[in-house]
């Protein structure tokens, strides 16, 4: 079998419902690496609250964060193939107006290692770096730099209306993606940004052909990655729109080691 680039989403895919990586998944990933395959995380999460998983899996490969807005090699700031795409601070501040029309728990502007939030709402335990003590208030006076993304936390039933409003207001300037599993999030990034952008960069670094890319995902923000990969696999618990374009679907959910079992069989690791 040719060397594969295995691109893995985190929430709803690699992680179970408790946001944990099981020992089964760790063992299968280790076997895949020993067989010569490359595993790369591609997540909507910022690096600050996904680096724990990178370390847990003992990775040394490039990582894709913010739905493809950042592709980097953790712990190596001089990596020549890194890229980082941002949106304008003015647009980020303007997003606060969404609260006038919609029930939104939190709007947060994400920088590489800092987050500016308009409320004290905590989406999930590790969302804020060092807890909420170092978090700065999202306002025109405080936010001085262009953020990587803006996260809007709201109930799932509000998402479509808010997405339509964002597209109506900002047109071709942004992309809007959903992620978060149990904690629904709309993430707004620069136009053209999606996970496939990062996966393509990682593949080029290792000389992996598109046909040898295997990607796993479950939500809207995985769409382009699943479509781009030579073999796109959607979790049993994934959304229908993704299953409709997938090459295959896991038999089990993320709560049942679906990714690990599929990969074990696909790569002949059992």
Residues with a known catalytic role: 9
Q: For residues 250 and 235, is the Cβ–Cβ distance under 8 A? A: yes
User: Coil, strand or helix: which one is 14?
Assistant: helix
Residue 63, beta-bridge partner list: 72
Q: Please work out, in degrees rounded to the nearest 5, the angle formed at the alpha carbon of residue 156 by the alpha carbons of 150 and 157.
A: 120
d(CA 89, CA 150): 10
* Strands of the chain, DSSP E: 5-8, 38-41, 63-65, 70-72, 83-84, 106-110, 115-117, 136-137, 149-153, 174-179, 185-190, 213-217, 231-234, 248-249
| 152 closest CA partner among 128, 196, 191, 118 | 118
| 262 closest CA partner among 216, 218, 222 | 216
User: Coil, strand or helix: which one is 70?
Assistant: strand
């Amino acid at each position: 079998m040719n060397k594969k680039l295995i691109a893995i989403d985190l929430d709803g895919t690699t992680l179970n419902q408790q946001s944990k990586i099981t020992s089964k998944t760790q063992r299968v990933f280790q076997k895949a690496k020993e067989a010569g395959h490359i595993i790369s995380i591609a997540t909507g999460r910022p690096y600050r609250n996904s680096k724990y998983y990178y370390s847990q899996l003992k990775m040394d490969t490039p990582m894709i964060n913010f739905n493809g807005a950042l592709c980097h090699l953790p712990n190596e700031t001089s990596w020549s193939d890194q890229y980082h795409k941002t949106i304008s601070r003015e647009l980020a501040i303007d997003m606060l107006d969404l609260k006038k029309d919609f029930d939104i728990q939190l709007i947060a502007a994400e920088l590489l290692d800092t987050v500016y939030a308009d409320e004290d709402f905590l989406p999930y335990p590790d969302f804020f770096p060092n807890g909420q003590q170092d978090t700065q208030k999202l306002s025109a006076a405080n936010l001085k730099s262009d953020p990587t993304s803006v996260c809007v936390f709201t109930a799932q039933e509000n998402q479509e209306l808010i997405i339509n409003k964002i597209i109506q207001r900002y047109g071709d300037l942004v992309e809007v993606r959903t992620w978060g599993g149990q904690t629904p999030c709309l993430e707004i990034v620069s136009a053209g940004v999606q996970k496939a952008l990062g996966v393509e960069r990682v593949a080029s670094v290792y000389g992996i052909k598109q046909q040898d890319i295997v990607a796993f995902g479950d939500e809207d923000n995985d769409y382009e990655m699943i479509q781009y990969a030579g073999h796109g696999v959607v979790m049993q618990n994934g959304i229908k729109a993704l299953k409709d374009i997938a090459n295959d679907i896991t038999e089990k959910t993320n709560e049942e080691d679906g990714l690990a079992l599929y990969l074990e069989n696909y790569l002949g690791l059992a």
